Amino acid sequence: MSGTGVGIGQRPETRKQMTVKMLWTGIWLVYLSAPVSDLLHGGHGVVAVVLGWLGLAGFVGWYLALLFRTGRRNAESFVLTSLAVLSAESTLLVLTLGREWLVLFVYVSIASGAALPLRLARWTIPAASALMAGLALLVTDGTEYIGALLIPALLGGFAMTGVRELVRTTIELREARARVAQLAANEERLRLARDLHDLLGHSLSLITLKSELAGRMLPAHPDKAAQQVADIEQVSRQ
């Protein structure tokens, strides 16, 4: 997409697109407040807190890399690998630190919908949601979070596939309009070229005819020959 807009699952190409996408992505990172609050007030040991901060930073860093580096030729393989890494990291953090970290799977689901085509996202979104639900059954009081997170994970993920398809359709429509405009411009140039060709052909034929007449009028009728030469000059100027 041109201008400041940048499509879901597309790599930003300008500084404005980078800024817009960073702001858009940053809004959703506010939902990481649950893991942050757990690290600050969850009563974990020093080692667990340090590892938790490192794990959260690694998750966010990889999540941003996933959203900002898509659009390359190897995009699908990169996205699938990134989703596997994010899922494994989320699983480890949930099992280690508790239920507050289940929210990470919502990001995995949304990233699936944002960066993968529908043919793949329709499998990865339910898989991430199912993994989250399974882990919620394993951790203490995790079942209390299933209802609050499962629906956002599913709806958010599939909503992002819809947005991605909308962006793709919009891009294709713009490209089609640009092609139509280019074809119209080419057709206009061809029309002008045909008109110019016809005009030049007529003018050259007229010049040839008057040149022959002037040649026949010399030397017997120099005045008439001069008039033909003047006509030839006028036609050439026109």
What are the pLDDT digits (tens) for 93-103? 999 998 889 99
| % of the chain surpassing 90 pLDDT | 21
Instruction: Look at 54-58, 179-183, 206-210 and tell me which has the smallest mean pLDDT.
Output: 206-210
- DSSP secondary structure string, 192-227? HHHHHHHHHHHHHHHHHHHHHHHHHHTTT-HHHHHH
Contact between residue 66 and residue 111 where contact means Cβ atoms under 8 Å apart: yes
Per the model's pLDDT, the better-predicted residue between 232 and 196 turns out to be: 196
What is residue 123's predicted lDDT score, i.e. its pLDDT?
92
pLDDT digits (tens, 9 = 90+) for 2-47: 444 444 445 555 666 656 666 666 666 777 888 998 899 888 889 9
Q: Is the pLDDT of residue 219 over 60?
A: yes
User: Residue 14 gets which letter from DSSP?
Assistant: S
Buried (b) or exposed (e) across 179-189, using 16+ Cβ within 10 A? eeeeeeeeeee
| % of the chain surpassing 70 pLDDT | 82
What is residue 84's predicted lDDT score, i.e. its pLDDT?
92
Contact between residue 58 and residue 79 where contact means Cβ atoms under 8 Å apart: no
Task: Tokens 């405009």: give the residue.
Answer: 181
Pairwise CA distance, residues 50 & 213, whole Å: 102
Per the model's pLDDT, the better-predicted residue between 208 and 226 turns out to be: 208
pLDDT digits (tens, 9 = 90+) for 192-208: 888 888 788 877 777 78
Helices H / strands E in the chain, number of each: 8, 0
Pairwise CA distance, residues 34 & 53, whole Å: 13
User: Residue 99 gets which letter from DSSP?
Assistant: G
